[in-house]
Structure 1
Amino acid sequence: MKPNVGNADRTLRLVAGVAIIALGVVFQSWWGAIGLIPLFTGTTRWCPAYLPFGISTCKAPNTQK
C-alpha cells in the first residue's frame, strides 16, 4: 500500500479517532467503534476512500518501505 495521507491529515484523523472512541465510551454507545476507522487510516497513512479519486495529501513523492 502506497501512503496517501499526509501529516496534517494524519494528525486530524488520529485526534478525531481518539475523540470518537472516547465519546463512545462516555456515552456507552457502539457508535464509538466508528472511531477505529480514522484511527486505522491515520496510523497506516493509507485511506481506501482516496483511491478511486486519485487523492493524496502527501507532499513528497511516495516511496514504499
Structure 2
Amino acid sequence: MFQTNVGTIDRIVRIVVGLALILGFFLDTDARYRWLYLLGILPLLTGLLSTCPAYSLLGISTCRTRG
C-alpha cells in the first residue's frame, strides 16, 4: 500500500511520543489538556505502520538504503 519511509530510530521516537501523549490523557486531571491525546494518534500510527504521508509528499526517507 504505502512505501516504507520511516527508519528504526524515527519509528521508535514516534511510537514513544504517541504513547506518551495518549497515556497523558488517562493520567491528566486537568481537563483543559485532554485533547492532546488526539495528537498522539498520528505519530503512533505512522510509527507502527513505518510510513509517513508527509515524508512521501516531501520525498524524505529516514530508512537506510540497501546497497
Q: TM-score, normalised by structure 1?
A: 0.84
- Give the aligned CA root-mean-square deviation in angstroms: 1.2
- Partners in 1 of 2:26 and 2:63 — Cα distance? 32
SS of the aligned residue for 1:60 comes to coil
- Partners in 1 of 2:26 and 2:37 — Cα distance? 7
Q: Percentage identity across aligned positions?
A: 41
- The CA deviation at 1:20 is 0.7
Show the counterpart of 2:10.
9
Q: Indicate yes or no: 2:40 matched with 1:35.
A: yes
Q: How many residues align?
A: 61
- The CA deviation at 1:12 is 0.3
Quick one: which of 24, 46, 54 aligns to 2:51?
46
- The CA deviation at 1:60 is 2.5
Unaligned runs of 5+ in 2: none
Is the radius of gyration larger for structure 1 or structure 2? Answer: 2
Q: TM-score, normalised by structure 2?
A: 0.82
Dislocated runs of 4+, deviation >3 Å = none
Post-superposition CA distance 1:30-54 (Å, at most 9, x none): 2212101000000000000112210
